[in-house]
Amino acid sequence: MSTERVALVTGSATGIGRAVAWRLAERGFAITVNYSKSKKDAEDTVAGIRERGARALLFPANVADDTAVRAMIERTVEEFGGLDILVNNAATTYFIPHVDLDGLTDNVWDEILNVNLKGTFYCCRAAMPHLKARRGNIVNIASVAGVAGSGSSIAYAASKGAVNTLTKSLAKAFAPEVRVNAVAPGPVQTRWLADHQDMVDQAMASTPLKRPATPDDIADVAVFLADGTTLMTGQVVVVDGGRTI
């Protein structure tokens, strides 16, 4: 069995996923970079990992596709010899006012739940035997939307609330071999919100620290949960500048 430490970060072409991948690379982890659409951005993430002296594998997969997820996990283990950390960052949303219930069509619900919830579950399920073998851990990137019922849409908030519950269920089921935690960011200044600055500004008006998170802010906490502590499990750590106090 390889002694090299290995991490898989889903949705790591840009934003939080890229920041987490680069931070883990700086700690010496070999990284599988996953993307579904943004190939050029994902290639840039891989280049950044290699510049940091770590090995990288690029694997395109929609996490809502269980077969593709299983192939990604197996390819990671084949390439690097095992798996120590899974970071479930891949997600999607639609920006739909919460009062627009008719806007929550079946297609909207299905896409958001398939990626955000089922995709997270598929990755956890496929990775679990390998994580158990290495006493590894999972970090799910959730959202304060799943804590406060806020965010881009009701369907998105519901999906992230479910991720929070999934985190706790898996933490109970697979302790002590595998720790499972989540980070729940508030608004993060990424391209996801680039066309919705009004939402960010409105949120900051009621945020004590008066600024949105950066990807590095969230990576700080994700990497701490993954590689900086050994006694935290089943926790959903809110990183929102104090907005939900």
Catalytically active residues are: 156
Distance CA 139, CA 137 (A): 7
- Look-up: residue for tokens 């935290």? 232
Q: What is the dihedral of CA 116, 117, 120, 124, to 10 degrees?
A: 180
Structure tokens at 149: 């019922």
Helices (H), 37-195: 39-51, 66-80, 106-112, 119-134, 145-148, 154-174
Sign of the alpha-carbon dihedral angle for 40, 43, 45, 48? negative
CB 69 within 8 A of CB 61: yes
